[in-house]
Amino acid sequence: MPQVLSMGELLVEVMRPGVDEPLDRQGTFVGPFPSGAPAIFIDAVARLGVSCGFVGVVGDDPFGRCVLNRLTRDGVDVRHVRLVSHRTTGIAFVAYRSDGSRQFVFHLPQSAAALLSPDDVRKEYLEGVRALHITGSALAISDSAREACYRAVRLCKQRGGMVSFDPNVRPELLGVEAVQALCEPVLASCDVLLPSGAEATMLSGDTDEETACQKLVASGIPIVVLKRGAQGCSVFTDQLRAEVPAYPVNEVDPTGAGDAFAGGFVVALLRGMSVQEAARFASAVGAMAVTRQGPMEGLPTLSQLESFLCSR
């Protein structure tokens, strides 16, 4: 049985190989690369040597097999990933800009991933789960996927497990109030919150990032980790406020770095590290993740991570 569980969208990414090649022009692509925020998270956990599983839905097609083969190879239990023949696996087309931003075209709401439902969340599968990871993207795919996540959170907490939450929802698509309503049931049970600055202010209603994180801790969330990308992260608890710098690396592809960081942070907590130690561990995982093109391609094994840390 898995110690760590994640759920939500499974997809592939097809991307431009260089920068400033917009998606509205003819050009070349590379891929498909296995992806999806909760999938990147769980693959990071698996490669770090922790037993883990995934709950989701993919199309019974080549892209679905691409994702499942990768997760299986890295040690993720995919027995609870349902295959369907009437919808295709999700695809994200990605282009990179020279200013560091990215352009995406998704079709997730119409993909197999949106068929995730509460019936896919089996009680017995959560019996030994020590940590459940939920992403805002999974909450936003469909009503049934959202209810599946809520059910998993309830079952995890009933069994004494930890819930981590990365609220990566785009408010410009749904509206701030709608996003807050989606996230509230997870926030109420959350043990570890991993927001960006914009997400922290959106969820707290405060305009200052640090005040927002402190407000979220005061609301009852034990650990809030503010992700700042190349600027590192800030850790907040009711007794701690600490800055943890990022590890400088040659960035090739930033997609999935935050999900890799979240996977590293959860693994570190399960290994008994302090919050600050966990943040440093997670920062190293996130740094290594961006050094190769493709959201899962740079994820390190535990031995690779230890070698990276020893060289710093």
Structure tokens at 113: 């991933």
Q: What CA–CA distance (Å, rounded) separates 53 from 68?
A: 12
Q: Is 60 assigned a catalytic role?
A: no
Peptide bond into 32 cis (omega under 30): yes
Decide: 56 and 217 in contact? Cβ < 8 Å.
no
Residue 134: CA count within 13 A, CB half-sphere: 34
CA distance 153 to 131: 10
Tokens of 235: 């850790």
Q: How many CB atoms lie within 10 A of CB 117?
A: 16
Pick the catalytic residue: 43, 166, 253, 259? 259
How far apart, in whole angstroms, are the C-alpha atoms of residue 246 and residue 285? Answer: 10
Contact 59, 112 (CB under 8 A): yes
In sequence order, which residues have a C-beta less than 8 Å from that of residue 265 and are 6 or more positions away? 164, 192, 194, 225, 278, 279, 281, 282
Radius of gyration of the chain (CA): 18
Catalytic residue annotation: 259
